[in-house]
Amino acid sequence: MDPPPPPHPPTLDSSEAQFKREWPDIHRTYHRVMWPRLRPLPLESISVEESSSFRSKEDMISVAVYRTIRICSSIRLFDCTVSIVYRQIPGNPFAAIPTLLITAPWGDDRSSSLWPLIVSHCVLILQRHVPDRRVYIEMMAPEMLRPVHVSPPPQNPHLVNEWPLIRDRIYQRLEAFEATRSHVTAITLMRRGYRRDHSFNPITVFIAMAQESDQKQWREVLNDIHEHMGDIGWDTLHVHMEHGVCEKHTLKAEMPLGARPDLRNSFERNRYVRREYREIARPGDSIASSCSFDGKPAPSATLSCFVQITIKGSVVKCALTSYQVARSGFNGYRLSKDMTVEQDAQTQFSAAETQWMNVLRVEEAPKRDSDLWKVDQHGYWTNRDKTISFPARMESPSRLTHDFSLACLEEDIRLFSKEASGSRHSYAENLKNQRDEMMAFFDRGYHRLDGIFGCSGNRQTDDKNRLDWALVSAHQHRTGPNVVPGRSHLFPSLLLYSGLCRCGWNPHCVMTSPITLKHPSPDHTIRRMPTGTRLWKVGHASDTTAGTLSSYRSLCRVGGKISLEYVVFGGAPDCRLRVTNSSAFAKPGDSGAVVVGKQGEVVGLLTAGQKPQNNSTGYVFVTPIEDIFSDMVRHSRGKITDIRIVSE
């Protein structure tokens, strides 16, 4: 129940009243008020304590915060917090803007009238106490910052049949309004809420919009959607809208060590460098084009597996991966620095932030009629189109992950070389030997695979599934069995006491037995699986992880194209049926990873994904493996007569 209004609402003195009449409108939306403009979420908060530009203004800022708290208290708004932070787009220091952040309980009508008044007062306070610096003001309800949990909706035959109608009707209504037209990035059915026990969270139609969509006009859109859902008998479903995009899971750059708190000690860095380099590649290894851009290596993804294709009686073994990682090998692929600083953002950066910004790259659209433009439209098959130059060769491991592993090793060597004990120096020498072996592996060219045999381009299946595959010719000495090794443990002796399971399928346990990938079964496909089926993926960035399938296909926009995708949610129950709410199914660098069933049968390839705001697990899109194989046969114009995933 909302608290009663104060007996005497706060008033402005004469000078403040005159100032308010001249002040521009405060921007407001549901549960959030902001000045001077409404920045789209998600935004992350970064401390200003390390900023030299604010250190000299510490006393003035403290006064501003104190006076803001006094204002909130005067109108009986007691459960509030006030701080000055940098609010930035996640991972983008160019978008860090100093902000007076206020969190307070939202009280419907009372808050919608009082919050703008509070923000107006804060504008005056900041103008007086920090006059030489433009500080934004953002006031929001605490639930806007609370962790959100998402999971597949329950299996409901009636809802499964009706979902395509519901999804398409919502998309039609979104296209009817200027604020949302052409801005839809995803429409996904899920359980979404704040309860860790997913069964208590309501079934929700989750709608994600591009940053360009005007959130202030969403209320009218949502009212229209609820009205039309009532017309088809589904007005009981919750509908939630927020800003968000669907991301390709290629890895374009590694954040420098100084900007990664989780990589400041050798234990955390060890997962990057402990992988042994081998001449025989295997599923889950990193893969990339061998070309570079302004000295920066090409984006990296995951080697899916090896497939055996039969072409006119001849058997060829190829590596399978994502088309997105093969794109950089074609003429016309362009990366550029994004040095655009957001309006009113900070202009002084730490050394780590500067280093990170120097490696950030933005992918540009290929020019019309360039090789890449043609391949995006129609795909590629070797020696078919003479107007397309032969693409750059592929490599595994990728140069991007190799360079980062060397940086981690150098930091470990530096740390352990400082220690006086003999064992520490001995460990440092072992690290140096490991570094030298890794460098020699690349210097001798052992990382090279071969050229691109064929790829899908950015096409779709007849069922509107996004195609995302590339076949890479591989030297015979680099091909091996489709076996994923057991996950190693830094301290094997702990296994005796840790109580971890040994089933080999819990991503939080030590993988003690290898996984042998198997050819898909016609009776065991994603299309036939019910919601709730557990699946696993083998990726380079996050190893083997568990997820849960949703049979409710999502509408999504990736690379400017709308498609309908099968969805796998992260945070799946482990083998003891415990829910792990923090396990993402995939991370950047996992694009192209194989998705498998419990017996190791391959059911699809991972393409892209999305993380709702304040959620750590997210969900990914998976293309059925049978669609990929059928497209390969069709794309080869009948030259391929058989495709198999061979276990041995």
Write out pLDDT tens, residues 23-71. 557 898 888 999 999 999 999 888 776 554 555 555 566 677 777 777 7
Task: Please report the pLDDT score of residue 501 as a whole number.
Answer: 44
Helix (H, G, I), strand (E, B) or coil at 448: strand
Task: Please report the pLDDT score of residue 23 as a whole number.
Answer: 55
For residue 248, CA distances in Å to 408, 467, 556 come to 26, 13, 12
CB 557 within 8 A of CB 246: yes
Q: Give domain 149-245's CATH architecture.
A: 2-Layer Sandwich (3.30)
Low-confidence ranges of the chain (pLDDT < 70): 1-24, 49-62, 73, 75-76, 78, 108, 255-275, 338-341, 347-359, 419-424, 486-513, 572-582, 648
For residue 150, CA distances in Å to 153, 157, 191, 225, 609 come to 9, 21, 5, 22, 14
pLDDT per residue over 457-476, tens digit each?
999 999 999 999 999 998 88
DSSP string for 25-51? PPEEETTEEEES--PPSP-EEEESTT-
The pTM of this model reads 0.87
Task: Please report the pLDDT score of residue 266 as a whole number.
Answer: 45
435: left (phi over 0), alpha (psi -120 to 50) or beta: alpha
CATH 3.30.300 positions along the chain are: 149-245
Q: What are phi and psi of 567, to 5 degrees?
A: -120, 135
Task: Please report the pLDDT score of residue 362 as a whole number.
Answer: 78
Token pair of 338 as six digits: 């994004």
Name the one residue in this structure whose structure tokens are 């409901």.
156
From the CB of residue 587, how many other CB atoms can be counted at a distance below 10 Å?
Answer: 18
CB 297 within 8 A of CB 600: no
Task: Please report the pLDDT score of residue 582 as a whole number.
Answer: 52
Task: Please report the pLDDT score of residue 613 as a whole number.
Answer: 94
